[in-house]
Amino acid sequence: MRLRSTNLIDIAVLWDQDIGDYRRYLRDQGFDCDVIPPVVLNMPVNHTNLEEYRLVIVPAGFGNMTYTRLLPELRAIDDLITEFVKAGGTLFVGGALSNISNAYDWLPVELRYVAGMRQVKVKTLKSHRAAEILHDQDECICDGYFTDMGEDVDTILSSEEGHAILVTSVFGAGEIIVTSIHEFPSREFLWYCVNRVT
């Protein structure tokens, strides 16, 4: 089991711009967060360590090069992200919002992404706490879906048509949760991610 000190901040959000609404939402749900530009984690003099956090979030839109440079920065720190999860951290990643099918190649698991914003009816395929991401809804907006997943990736939620919209993978002592659900996650989902026992 990974031991955590009591002075840990709950959540790190990897982003390179202001995310005021997302940060406010997290605080309204009772969680503290730091916003960290990934480029900072690669600097020679770096005082930020992902191990200080319980949950690392990469919000939806990270692959859309029209308004963020996050994807190249995530690729540059893929080893740090892998070590964070392997040591027992939870990584939560949103939809890429991009036609780049390999936008998730910085993750230590295989999956491809097909972009496309639409309303979907949600089906639960496996029992998992990550299925609590929605606020008791059976429909949601998705920005795409996942294909070509590795054997270590489980589909938890799908659209009615069978497209994967929330997948998980246990990796080392931690867990990776990736979704194309384009809505803020529920408090119950965040609580699971932050308090997941490894």
Note whether 196 and 175 are within 8 A (CB). Answer: yes
User: Which residues make beta-bridge pairs with 154?
Assistant: 168
Task: Tell me what pLDDT residue 5 has.
Answer: 40
pLDDT > 70 fraction of the chain, expressed in percent and rounded: 92
Q: Summarize the confidence of residues 157-186 as an average pLDDT.
A: 96
pLDDT tens-digit series, residues 40-71: 887 765 557 888 899 999 999 999 988 888 99
The average pLDDT across 18-29 equals 89
| pTM recorded for the entire structure | 0.92
Q: Domain containing 160: what range?
A: 9-195
Domain membership flag for residue 3: no
> How far is residue 162 CA from its own chain's centroid?
21
Total domains, the chain: 1
For residue 26, the domain's CATH number is 3.40.50.880
Does residue 2 form part of some domain?
Answer: no
The pLDDT tens digits for 101-124 are: 899 999 999 999 999 999 999 999
| Helix or strand holding residue 159 (H, E) | strand 154-159
> CA-to-CA distance for 57 and 95, rounded, in angstroms?
12
